[in-house]
Structure 1
């Protein structure tokens, strides 16, 4: 009597069959995951995608943020930043690898946000964006004031009231959202569009721009710490006042703007 190999009748998968079966299994089981990790090996590819590694003290997982999701991230991915991400697990059958496709990313707490802000401030300061010599003088008697803010709420009413009392002039309000994922892009677009206006055109070119928002938490004001927005402020030719937050609030565009004027 001899032993019989009971596995001899098991189906023999092809490599592709097994690889794609594993892919389906992982994607079905982990179609949505929320993960806390530290970022490393962050690469911004020329195709617009971001490739990175998420790690803790014992393990690491590769991740990717597709081009279409990069702009919607709450924070800019960078080495050493602690984050919370959401996404789905998938595999790359041709290479026996798995990764997380990241859809959202936020800093893991205020401390992580502030650490990222300090690194960005150091970078921009080294490039000369905060230099006093780069500040544009404010006009003494502006005829047209451009205000970039939310069209609702106390801030715009306060600005219009003060302008009316102190220096009656024409005010052009560019409505934007001042909090959330799209705020930085909307404010930056408004600044660029104001600067692109031609003198004597159908829409008067402002002599000065005010970017305004009331006070709030670090997270509430985070849009005004956006690097692209700071560079847009610096690149403009129209003098700009940052009126974001209260006296104790500080955002990145305060350092790049020509004057800071906290809201009441």
Structure 2
């Protein structure tokens, strides 16, 4: 039986895959998804950077989305792959801090998705005012605001996780250092901190999601009033695509971090985490590029 209390400073990631042929198959599948996400997001960033025709607010926002996806998928999969291949499941406290920072930074993606929804809302509902409402300056401010607010939120949560005392088993029943799971190993009462997680989730995920739904509600109403059948088709296609991606990203996050800790189960947490850590970074460049480049 493995010893999960090897050191007093390191944690043990129990991982996502069972030690069997099924686990090997799932591992290969996740690595393939990672490679597709890596190639897709890097290609998106380079294409937008190199092509002057794509230097527009919509594609600038899309490049930042790809960059955010790259940051946190790259902090999870390489470490998970190393642990699985070499049987070393340990991760240092600093390593956990790095993973925690980039994963909580994913809250910035929630704000960025809301900015992208606003961009599409203005483009469809107020096309004549688009160049004024979504100027280069406004676009830069939306991106800087997403990164800065997300970084501040991330630093606060990461600092707390790094400095609280841990006295129970250091085996993390997850495939990355998830904040909600690490709280179960703390020696102190974390109830107040759990309220801050609730507040952060509400600000960075729930409220942007409501704003996105509100924006697309107006978009669909405007589309319904269009006279051009071709315009309606393109607008409906854009809305359905964006809403699909947004729902896949927000729903697992919101469900995981707004749910009380005592209701969490390891299997449920891992399954939901697969959506926002692996699937959406892979789907974002594929879906957005196919729709936006038509």
TM over 0.5: no
Name the one with the larger helix percent: 2
TM-score range (shorter-chain normalised) is under 0.3
Larger RCO, structure (CA 8 Å, separation 6 or more): 2
Q: Which has the higher strand share?
A: 1
- Provide TM-score, normalisation by structure 1: 0.24
Q: TM-score w.r.t. structure 2 length?
A: 0.22
**Higher radius of gyration, 1 or 2:** 1
